[in-house]
Amino acid sequence: MGRLRTAFAAGAIVALLTGGLTGCAGAPERTVDHSTSSVTLAPGEGLVVDFGEVNHTVGDEWVITREPDPAVLGPGEQRSRYLGEDGEAGASSELSFRFPAVGDGTTVIRFEYHFRGSVPEDVSDQETAEITVTVK
C-alpha cells in the first residue's frame, strides 16, 4: 500500500509539473512595435512590446513610466537578448517587455527612453511610447 501511495504521489507531482510547464510554454503572444498606439488581446494572450536594438553598455534604456492596470495586464517582464559574440563587450541587445493578459478591460502602458539613467537633455533624443491595450 505504501508503494502504491508513493507511486501515485510521484505521478501526481510529474503531472502537475508537466501541465504547468506546458501551460507556460504554450501561451500565445502578440508582438507589437513600441510605436504601436493600440492593440487588442484575447484573454490569456501575452503582449510583447518590441523596442528593437538598444545598447545598454553606452546607457540606452527604456523604462516603464506608467504601469498597466493590474486587473487587465500582469507586471511587465523585461527581455533582453545580447547580440554580441561570447566574450565581446559593448554590443547591442534586442529589448522587449512582456505583459500577460490577466483580465478583461482596457489599460495604458507608458514607456520613456533614458540615456545613462535619465531623460536626454536634447529634445530631439527624447522618446516616449504609449500603448492602449484592450483585453476582450
Answer whether residue 9 is part of any domain.
no
Question: Grid coordinates in use for 112?
Answer: 520613456
Give the C-alpha separation, 25 to 130, whole Å: 28
Instruction: Please report which confidence band the pLDDT of residue 25 belongs to, taking 50, 70 and 90 as the band edges.
Output: low
- 113 in any annotated domain: yes
Q: Please check whether residue 68 lies inside any domain of the structure.
A: yes
Residue at 23 is within a domain: no
| Cβ within 8 Å of residue 40, ≥6 positions away | 133, 134, 135, 136
Helix (H, G, I), strand (E, B) or coil at 36: coil
Residue 47 domain flag: yes
Q: Does the pTM exceed 0.85? A: no
Number of domains in the chain: 1
The answer to whether residue 36 sits within a structural domain is yes
- CATH for 55: 2.60.40.2020
> How far is the CA of 118 from the CAs of 9, 62, 89, in angstroms?
53, 10, 23
Strand partners, 41: 135
| Structure confidence by residue, pLDDT tens digits, 71-116 | 999 999 999 999 999 988 899 999 999 999 999 999 999 999 999 9
- Specify the DSSP class assigned to residue 69: P
pLDDT computed for residue 71 by the predictor: 98
- Domain extent for 67: 29-135
Q: How far is Cα 95 from Cα 44, in angstroms, rounded to an integer?
A: 22
Choose among 67, 70, 43, 56: nearest CA to 131: 67
In a domain? residue 18: no
Q: Is 22 among the domain residues?
A: no
